[in-house]
Every structure is written in structure tokens, then in C-alpha cells.
């Protein structure tokens, strides 16, 4: 009996030791925070590497910077390059800002920028094909790029985080890149966390914070709990259902900004029924955007009137389509459908039945699909839902299987609509599994691809958006918001729509 008691006792002691070990660790962390000016941010997408040419985290963490960037109004602005000039159809000259230094103290000049671009062209397949650089020449603080073809979108492509300027010959770029941002990396654990300290010679004014820690966790609920427990000061991409305890806590706040993403329905042009614009318009009218925003997104979304975030100057100026089942029914009748005895829409003896594919990767998309299914049923259109885990390969490899799909995309991640118009609407675009081919739109996109003048580009993009509104190859539903939980001790900081510059030199703590 005695030995059993002592055995239970020893387990108890071990437990106590473990717990006491932990709590002392915690206290240390808290006391450290109160003396240092530091912030812990919790982000959702884990980074494998800190190499700014491979991953977005280099720029997001305030370590690396690009030649040009988009500002809070989503307009392209000078950044490491203070000015640029388009010499001819293919030639661009950028003037690099004086006084910018890399984290090792060496100055950033034309040569350094050239070396950085040489590195990215060599190591990044996608960026190398998107930049279309034929040759580069450095001269003092200037760098000249010659494109392989007339390429006006070059400027906006330079907003891409992977084009940021790094010290090309630095070793260990994956863990401690040498770049120009307000912070430099002190340690990095792949897919887990990165620790940063401020760079004292930062050109745009030394950062207010001493240290920043960014941790990655792909579970939204854990991110919300970590914010509440004080382990994180900023928690990105919170699920709407986790917000209530955060909103009711007076030490925390929730920021919700419309993202550059749009959730939409993509129609398959291979289906004869969907080739009829009236049918597409009818389906568009069945999308109840206010309900989707309020009920499915808990209010954390903005109704979409077109592919682009409404803050862009080239976004659609018309109102989002209003839900109107009666008009939808009328349009279907115009398209030759009649209600049969069962109340189903029928043409040539066939009931209008559409297969809607959706995927669970974004949990709200299956809900949007179900909601649309209900609305369609009320006017006599059958929608069959299939949930596909790997949606992209399904859409491409089984193009005759599906009629519609709930989809989601970043549409103008670099402040220019050219990207989405090219990939989603041109017949050989990488995001055009629905075989959309609208000659008028193709022409506008091709024209855009050779137009450099910003105002003309704007005008062409607006025209393209109008064609999209008229032809309805997609039904745009909503722009989901980026929901960020913030501890009130963080000041002078708010999330931007572009999700590029998350850590700044301006952010501070109380």
C-alpha cells in the first residue's frame, strides 16, 4: 500500500514540476514585453523561407522593399525608386533613392538593384516569366530595363513582393536576407516563427518598435485564442465566428477591411445553356448579395459589382446587381424556358439543370453554393452541388463535367487590373477553365497590354469591366474582408487591403 501511495505522490510531484516550470517561463516573457517595445503578430500562411525572392514574408515582415509599391488608396507610388521614365516602348529607367542602405550598411545603387534582379530572374520561374526582362543596365543611381516586348504592365509587376531588392551576394538568404526594410531578421524557424529587430539606419525613419515577432499558425481558432490570451498582439485572418469574445473585450479591437479578393461564380462556356447571356444574367439576378454578406460572411464583406475592389479607380461604378427572382424568371422565359407541370424551367423537354462545383478550402463558398441552390429552386432551376477537394485540377481536367463553380481570386494584387483580365478572360489564360472567349473583351485586354499611359489604361480597364458586366461570364458576389484582431496596446497601425506591408516603421505600442 505504502509503495502505491509514494508512486501516486511522485507522479503528482512531476506534474507540479512541469506546471511550475511553465508558469515561470510565462512570467519571464511577460516581464520582457513590458520593458521592450515589441509586438507579436500571428499570421495564417506559414512561410517556408524568408528569401524575399521566393516568399511574400520578406516584404510583409518589413525586411525587404520593392522599387514601387501601392499605397493605402491602392495607387502605385515611388518607393525605393523615387522616379521613373519610360524611354520608349520597351525601355524603362528608374532612379534609385539616395541614402538607402542594405542591412549590412552597403549603399543601394543601380548595380546592387541589377544584381538583385539577376538573382530573382534566375531563381523564380513565375516572376521571371511575368517581368519579361531582356536586359538591364546600371549607371550610378539609375537602372534601365529593356523588356522583351512592349510591356506597359511592367511597372505594376514591380509591385510584386518577389521583386524586392536584396543584397544579391548575401549568404543564407532563406533565413537572414540582407535587404533594405525597417527590420532585419534575427532568427527564423521555417513555417513557425520569425524574429525581427529594427534596422537603425533605415532610410524612411528608424522604426518605433525595437522588436517584432511573427508566428505562423494555420488554425483560425488558435489565432483568436492566442490574441485573447495576450500571446499575440495582432492576429490575422480571424474566422468571423470567433470574433464575439474579441469584440466584447475592451482591450482588443477588430479591424475589417475589404480585400483585393473576390468570391464569384464562374460559368462554363462549354455548356450550351450557359452560352446564352440571358441564362447567365438570370443566374446573376438570383444571387442575393446583401444576404450573402450579412448571413454568410457575418457582415465582414462588401457586395461586389465587378471583379475589382471598389476602392480602385478602375473598378465598376455601377451598383451591384440586385436580387430579383421575378426578372430572372422573365429572362429565362425570354431564353425559351417554360415552367412545366412540376414548376421546373424546361426547354425542348429538358429541365434546366446545372452542376455547381464548390470546394471546402474557403468554407464560405460551399455555403454560398447551397444558398444559390435554394434560390434557383424557387424559380424552377435545378442546381446540383458537387464538393471537390482539389478544385483546380477538376476544373481543368474535367471541363465537360461542371457547369458553374464558386471560385475566389485576388483580382488586382498589384494595383492594376491587367493581371485578372489576362488570366481569367483571354482564351489561353491560366485561370480560364470555363473557356470564356469574348472577342470585345479580348481586344480590350490586348489593347491594354500595349498601352502605357496610366489614364488610357484606366479607361481601357473600365471599358473591360463594363463588357464583363454586360456579358456576365462571371457573377461577382462579394469581396471578403480581411479580419484582423488587434490588442489596443498597438497604435499607429491598421491592416491594408493589399496585405503587403504588414510591419511598418510607423507602428508603435502604448
Partner 1 sequence: MRQAVSIISSRLFQLIIIVLILSFATFILMKITPGDPVRALLKVDDVISTTEDKERVMEEYGFDKPILVQYVQWLWNVAQLDLGESIISKRPVLEIILDKLPATVALSVGGVIALFVIAVPLGVIGAVYEGKWPDYISRWFAILGASIPSFWLGLLLIYFFSLKWNLLPVMGKGTLAHFVLPSITLGIAMAPLYIKLLRERLVSTLQSTYIESAYARGLGRGRILLFHALRGSLIPLVTMFGLSIGSLLGGITVIEILFSWPGMGEMIVQAVMQRDYPLIQGYIMVVGVLVVMTNLIVDLLYLLIDPQIRHGREIS
Binding site for partner 1 (CB under 8 A): 1-5, 7-8, 11, 14, 18-19, 21-23, 25-26, 29, 46, 48-49, 54, 123, 125-127, 129-130, 153, 157, 160, 174, 189-193, 215-219, 221-222, 225-226, 228-229, 231, 390, 392-394, 397, 409-410, 413, 418-419, 422-423, 426, 428-431
Residue (4 or 510) nearer to partner 1, CB: 4
Q: Is 477 exposed, middle or buried (0-12, 13-18, 19+ CB in 10 A)?
A: buried
Task: For residue 78, give Cα distances in angstroms to 90, 201, 494.
Answer: 20, 20, 21
Phi, psi of 149, deg, nearest 5: -150, 175
| Closest C-alpha among 425, 433, 427 to residue 396 | 433
Residue (35 or 129) nearer to partner 1, CB: 129
Nearest approach, Cβ of residue 262 and partner 1 (Å)? 13
Task: For residue 6, give Cα distances in angstroms to 2, 3, 11, 50, 429.
Answer: 6, 5, 9, 51, 72
| Closest C-alpha among 72, 482, 67, 151 to residue 312 | 72
Q: Torsion-angle region of residue 387: left (phi > 0), alpha (psi -120 to 50) or beta?
A: beta
Instruction: Give the chain's radius of gyration (CA, Å).
Output: 26
Residue 70: count other Cβ atoms within 10 Å of its Cβ.
25
Nearest approach, Cβ of residue 76 and partner 1 (Å)? 16
Residue (29 or 294) nearer to partner 1, CB: 29
Nearest approach, Cβ of residue 102 and partner 1 (Å)? 23
Query: Angle 287-323-363 (CA atoms, 0-180°, nearest 5)?
Result: 30
> What cell numbers appear for 144 in the block?
534601365
**Do 444 and 438 touch, CB atoms closer than 8 A?**
no
Nearest approach, Cβ of residue 126 and partner 1 (Å)? 4
Q: Torsion-angle region of residue 436: left (phi > 0), alpha (psi -120 to 50) or beta?
A: beta
| Closest C-alpha among 266, 202, 252, 203 to residue 223 | 252
Nearest approach, Cβ of residue 135 and partner 1 (Å)? 21
Spatial distance between the Cα atoms of 240 and 482, rounded to a whole number of angstroms: 10
Residue 362 DSSP class: S
Nearest approach, Cβ of residue 215 and partner 1 (Å)? 6
Residue (7 or 71) nearer to partner 1, CB: 7
Residue (225 or 385) nearer to partner 1, CB: 225
Nearest approach, Cβ of residue 250 and partner 1 (Å)? 17
Residue (96 or 196) nearer to partner 1, CB: 196
Spatial distance between the Cα atoms of 11 and 398, rounded to a whole number of angstroms: 59
Nearest approach, Cβ of residue 454 and partner 1 (Å)? 19
Spatial distance between the Cα atoms of 273 and 353, rounded to a whole number of angstroms: 9
Residue (16 or 83) nearer to partner 1, CB: 16
Spatial distance between the Cα atoms of 72 and 359, rounded to a whole number of angstroms: 32
Task: For residue 286, give Cα distances in angstroms to 261, 299, 490.
Answer: 21, 20, 43
Nearest approach, Cβ of residue 160 and partner 1 (Å)? 7
Spatial distance between the Cα atoms of 428 and 434, rounded to a whole number of angstroms: 11
Residue (142 or 498) nearer to partner 1, CB: 498
Residue (322 or 435) nearer to partner 1, CB: 435
Residue (413 or 415) nearer to partner 1, CB: 413
Residue (127 or 354) nearer to partner 1, CB: 127
Who contacts 439 (Cβ-Cβ below 8 Å, separation ≥6)?
Answer: none
Residue (65 or 157) nearer to partner 1, CB: 157
Nearest approach, Cβ of residue 127 and partner 1 (Å)? 7
DSSP string, 98-153: TT-B-TTS-B--HHHHHHHHHHHHHH-HHHHHHH-EEEEEEETTEEEEEESS--TT
Nearest approach, Cβ of residue 318 and partner 1 (Å)? 27
Nearest approach, Cβ of residue 497 and partner 1 (Å)? 16
Amino acid at each position: 500500500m505504502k509503495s502505491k501511495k509514494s508512486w501516486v505522490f511522485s507522479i503528482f510531484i512531476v506534474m507540479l514540476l512541469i506546471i511550475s516550470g511553465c508558469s515561470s517561463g510565462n512570467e519571464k516573457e511577460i516581464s520582457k514585453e513590458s520593458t521592450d517595445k515589441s509586438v507579436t503578430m500571428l499570421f495564417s500562411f506559414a512561410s517556408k523561407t524568408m528569401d524575399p525572392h521566393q516568399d511574400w514574408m520578406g516584404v510583409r515582415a518589413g525586411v525587404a522593399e520593392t522599387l514601387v509599391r501601392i499605397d493605402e488608396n491602392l495607387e502605385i507610388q515611388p518607393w525605393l525608386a523615387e522616379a521613373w521614365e519610360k524611354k520608349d516602348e520597351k525601355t524603362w529607367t528608374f532612379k534609385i533613392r539616395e541614402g538607402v542602405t542594405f542591412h549590412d550598411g552597403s549603399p543601394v545603387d543601380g548595380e546592387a538593384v541589377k544584381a538583385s534582379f539577376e538573382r530573382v530572374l534566375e531563381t523564380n520561374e513565375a516572376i521571371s516569366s511575368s517581368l519579361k526582362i531582356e536586359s538591364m543596365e546600371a549607371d550610378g543611381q539609375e537602372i534601365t530595363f529593356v523588356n522583351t516586348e512592349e510591356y506597359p504592365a511592367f511597372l505594376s509587376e514591380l509591385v510584386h513582393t518577389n521583386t524586392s531588392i536584396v543584397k544579391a551576394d548575401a549568404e543564407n538568404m532563406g533565413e537572414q536576407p540582407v535587404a533594405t526594410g525597417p527590420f532585419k531578421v534575427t532568427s527564423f524557424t521555417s513555417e513557425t516563427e520569425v524574429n525581427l529587430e529594427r534596422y537603425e539606419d533605415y532610410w524612411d525613419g528608424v522604426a518605433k518598435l525595437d522588436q517584432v515577432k511573427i508566428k505562423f499558425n494555420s488554425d483560425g481558432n488558435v489565432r483568436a485564442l492566442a490574441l485573447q490570451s495576450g500571446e499575440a498582439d495582432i492576429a490575422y485572418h480571424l474566422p468571423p465566428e470567433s470574433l464575439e469574445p474579441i469584440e466584447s473585450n475592451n482591450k482588443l479591437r477588430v479591424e475589417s477591411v475589404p480585400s483585393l479578393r473576390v468570391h464569384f461564380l464562374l460559368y462554363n462556356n462549354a455548356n450550351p445553356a450557359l452560352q446564352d447571356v440571358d441564362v447567365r444574367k438570370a443566374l446573376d439576378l438570383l444571387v442575393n448579395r446583401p444576404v450573402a454578406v450579412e448571413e454568410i460572411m457575418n457582415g465582414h464583406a462588401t457586395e461586389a459589382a465587378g471583379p475589382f475592389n471598389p476602392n480602385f479607380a478602375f473598378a465598376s461604378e455601377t451598383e451591384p446587381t440586385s436580387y430579383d427572382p421575378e426578372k430572372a424568371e422573365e429572362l429565362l422565359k425570354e431564353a425559351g424556358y417554360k415552367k412545366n407541370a412540376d414548376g421546373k424551367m424546361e426547354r425542348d423537354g429538358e429541365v434546366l439543370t446545372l452542376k455547381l462545383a464548390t470546394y471546402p478550402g474557403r468554407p464560405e463558398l460551399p455555403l454560398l453554393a447551397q444558398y444559390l441552390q435554394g434560390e434557383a429552386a424557387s424559380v424552377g432551376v435545378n442546381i446540383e452541388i458537387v464538393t471537390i477537394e482539389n478544385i483546380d485540377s477538376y476544373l481543368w481536367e474535367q471541363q465537360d463535367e461542371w457547369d458553374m463553380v464558386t471560385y475566389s481570386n485576388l483580382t488586382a494584387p498589384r494595383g492594376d487590373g491587367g493581371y485578372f483580365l489576362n488570366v481569367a478572360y483571354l482564351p489561353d489564360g491560366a485561370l480560364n477553365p470555363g473557356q470564356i472567349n469574348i472577342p470585345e473583351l479580348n481586344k480590350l485586354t490586348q489593347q491594354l497590354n500595349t498601352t502605357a499611359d496610366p489614364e488610357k489604361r484606366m479607361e481601357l480597364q473600365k471599358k473591360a469591366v463594363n463588357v464583363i458586366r454586360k456579358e456576365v461570364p462571371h457573377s461577382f458576389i462579394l469581396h471578403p474582408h480581411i479580419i484582423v484582431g488587434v490588442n489596443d496596446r498597438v497604435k499607429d497601425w491598421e491592416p491594408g487591403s493589399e496585405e503587403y506591408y504588414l510591419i511598418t516603421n510607423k507602428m508603435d505600442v502604448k
